[in-house]
Amino acid sequence: MRARKPNCSVCKSWARAAPENGAKLAGIGAAISLYMGQEVATATKNCHFEPKEQDMTNTNDMIKNEIASQDVVVFMKGTPQFPQCGFSGQVVQILDYLGVPFKGINVLENAEIRQGIKDFSNWPTIPQVYVKGEFVGGCDIVREMFQSGELASHLAEAGVIGKQAAKA
């Protein structure tokens, strides 16, 4: 197994405090369980324990599952309730204005998802919007489609919003 940089905040702070701890990270899950509770251990269990190639396969599988599980998925910085960048906020406002139910995935919570979604779509920026499993684009494309009326039409054709909502 190759050494990797920490992904989770617990392991990052632990490795930063003592860089030599990097070699000991494989045992941190048990220690976290004992002292901080199972929820934290569960959140950090995949931080260092599998090879990078396996992680990317898991990341791609997770991305595919998320995209397939919802009609509209937005990989964004922050959450729909609290976007943490202006571009993500614009996409949320547009979708909310159109009355589109969507799932927001906060890429700031997981560095592998943040990079993985860029690799998956071959698109360098976030946010990224998917409709019925199809990559639509980032903020600029979604905004242009919205302004031209093309986004509402696309969403209506996909069955995500009603035809009446698209004409409004």
pLDDT at 123: 94
Q: Please check whether residue 77 lies inside any domain of the structure.
A: yes
pLDDT of amino acid 156: 94
Q: Model pTM?
A: 0.66
pLDDT tens, position by position, 61-87: 999 999 999 999 999 999 999 999 999
Domain that holds residue 151: 52-167
Residues 66 and 102: beta-carbon distance below 8 Å: no
Residues of the chain with pLDDT under 50: 1-4, 21-54
Per the structure, how many domains does the chain have? 2
Query: What does the pLDDT read at residue 2?
Result: 39
Is residue 3 situated within a structural domain?
A: no
Look at residue 5 in the predicted model and tell me its pLDDT: 54
Residue 4, in any domain of the structure: no
Q: Are residues 123 and 96 in the same domain?
A: yes
- Residue 161 and residue 112 share a domain: yes
Q: Is residue 144 in a domain?
A: yes
Predicted local confidence at residue 29, as pLDDT: 45
Asked whether residue 60 falls in the same domain as residue 142, the answer is: yes
Q: Looking at the structure, do residues 71 and 140 belong to the same domain, yes or no?
A: yes
Residue 21 maps to a domain = yes
Tell whether 60 and 111 lie within a shared domain: yes
